[in-house]
Structure 1
Amino acid sequence: MSGVTVGLVVTMPVGPMSLLCIQRALVFGALAGFTTGLGAATVLAIYTACAVLGLGPAIISALVYSKAIVPAVSACLLLWFSARILGRTVSLAGPTADGHSAISSYCSAVACALFNPLTPVLLAAVLPTVALPEPRAASTMVAAVFAASVTWWLVVSGSVAALRSSLSVTVLNLINKASGLVLGALGILMAAECF
C-alpha cells in the first residue's frame, strides 16, 4: 500500500476534522477550511513519522495508558468548538467577517487532530500493510501521506467554499448550527468514554 493510499484512507472518513473543515469553509471561506485541513494533515504526518520510525507501539500504549485523558481532552475541544459554532451567526460580508484567521484555524485544528483518537487507530490498522525497507522509504511514506491528505483537504475546502456562494444566509446558518450540534454530540460521546 502506498503512502498516498494510506493518507487518503486515514483522511477521507467523515469525522470531527471533516466537519470542522467543512463548517469553516462554509462560514469563513476556502482558506479557513484549507488551513483546518492542513492542521489535520500535519498531525497525520507526525503520527505517520512516529509509526514508520517504530514508535507506533509506544504511541498506542501511551494512548491506552491515558485512556481517560485523551477522550476527556477530545470531548472538551469538541464541546468548545460546538459552543463557538452555535454562538455564531453566519454573514456573507466576507470570508473572514469574524476576524477568523488562517493561523487560528490551523492551530485549533492541530489541537483537535492531536486528541482525535480515530487518527492513530486508523493508522495502526493501515500501516502494518506497508513494508518500509529503508529510511528513505520511510521519509517518502511520510511525504506521500502528507501530500495525499493536503490534496484531499484542498479539494474539500475548495468545493465547499464554491458551494458557499450559491447558498442563502439562512441555509448557511442552518448548516452551521447542524455542524455545531453534531460536533457537540461527538463531544458528549467522547465524554461518555471517560466513565
Structure 2
Amino acid sequence: MRQSSIPGARGRVRPLTLLGDPALVTPCAEVTDFGPELARLVEDLFATMYAARGVGLAANQVGEGARVFVYDCPDDEDVRHLGHVVNPRLVRADGIRLRGPEGCLSLPGLEAGTERYDHAVVEGFTVTGEPVTVHGTGFFARCLQHECDHLEGRLYVDHLTGWRRRRVLRQAARASWRRER
C-alpha cells in the first residue's frame, strides 16, 4: 500500500477537545466547500484518531465545527470498516437496543454501559462530494450513532441516567486531564 493511500498518513495530529469544551456541545455546521481544506481536515482526523487509539472521531473533537467524522472500526464479526462521512444523517437506528461499554476520546480513560441500537444506517457524502451510505451492525453501529451524536453536540454521557451518569461524571471531575486544563 502506498503511503499516500493510508488514511491519516499525511495528516497532522491535533489536540483533542475534552469534556467541558463548548465545541463538544455545539451542533456542527453543514459542509459546503468540498475543497482541499476539507481533505486536510479528514486527513488530520484520521491521524488524530490513530494517535489516540480510537475507532472514530468527529470534527468537533478537534475543535472544528464541521459536520464530518472518520472511522476505522470493527463490527461484532471483527470485519474492519474504514472511511469518513461528510454531512452525515443517521437515517436508521433500529434492531435490538443493547447496553454495552462505550468510551470517548473526549473523556479519556472513562467508559459506561450505554444503550444503542445494534443496526444503523448513515447517509452523507465523501470528501469529494460523492453520495455515500454506510450500514453498521453491532459495535460498528454503536460507533456510527456515537459519531453522529457528536455532530449534534451530544456525548454518550447524555444517554446515561441515574447512577451510571453520576458515576461517569464524578470520574470525569476527578480525572487528571480535567485538572491539567
* TM-score normalised to structure 2 length: 0.25
**Larger strand proportion of the pair:** 2
Which structure is higher in RCO with an 8 Å CA cutoff and minimum separation 6?
1
Larger radius of gyration: 1
**Larger helix proportion of the pair:** 1
* TM-score normalised to structure 1 length: 0.24
